[in-house]
Structure 1
Amino acid sequence: MKKILLVCSAGMSTSMLVKKMQEAAENEGKDYEVEALALSEAETKVDDVDVILLGPQVRFQKAQVEKVANGKVPVDVIDMQQYGMMDGERVLKHAESLMK
């Protein structure tokens, strides 16, 4: 099972996107676990995930999260348009491209 971590300010605004991504994965028959956490909690999950995606509102924290990830997992920012449209399928594809 692949694990995807979404990070935002409080872990709340990404919860709808988590559901959309989970639905997209299930529709494609993929075994993924998608979780959303606040930036302050993300550090505790670095060793347990395969990729970390930041919400656009915390993109300025990317360098900090990359430092914590220490090259163990890829870290990137979710496209603002995909985030705004809650496009779980496209965000999932982006996460998959980073995990390869």
Structure 2
Amino acid sequence: MAKALIICVAGMSSSLMAKKTTEYFEKQGKDIQVDAINANEAKKVIENKEFDLYLVSPQAKM
């Protein structure tokens, strides 16, 4: 399974986007999971290399 992570300032609207995107991939028969977190949690997750792809919103300063 491929895993992608959306990193945004608050993580609220990106959570909805992650859920809808995962549902879309499931309907397409793709084994891709998309999650979302806020920028404050991102450093730990990135250091642990838990995801295959990281998408950072433009307003998040890292």
Q: Is the TM value for this pair above 0.5?
A: yes
Shorter-chain TM range is: 0.7 to 0.9
Residues 75-100 of structure 1 deviation map (CA, whole Å, 9 limit, x = unaligned): xxxxxxxxxxxxxxxxxxxxxxxxxx
Percent identity between matched residues is: 40
Q: Judge conservation of contact 2:19–2:35 (CA < 8 Å) in 1.
A: no
1:48 maps to 50
Greater than 6 Å deviation, 4+ residue runs: none
Residues 11-51 of structure 1 deviation map (CA, whole Å, 9 limit, x = unaligned): 11201101221111111111112111011101122211001
1:26 maps to 26
- Normalized against structure 2, the TM-score is what? 0.82
How far apart, in 2, do the equivalents of 1:9 and 1:56 lie? Answer: 9
Q: How far off its partner does 1:56 sit? A: 3.2
Q: How far off its partner does 1:57 sit? A: 2.6
Any idea what SS the aligned residue of 2:26 has? helix
Q: How far off its partner does 1:55 sit? A: 2.1
Residues 1-100 of structure 1: matches in 2 within 5 Å?
1-46=1-46, 47-58=49-60, 61=61, 64=62
Q: Which has the larger radius of gyration?
A: 1
How far apart, in 1, do the equivalents of 2:23 and 2:42 lie? Answer: 23
Q: Match for 2:25: what amino acid?
A: A
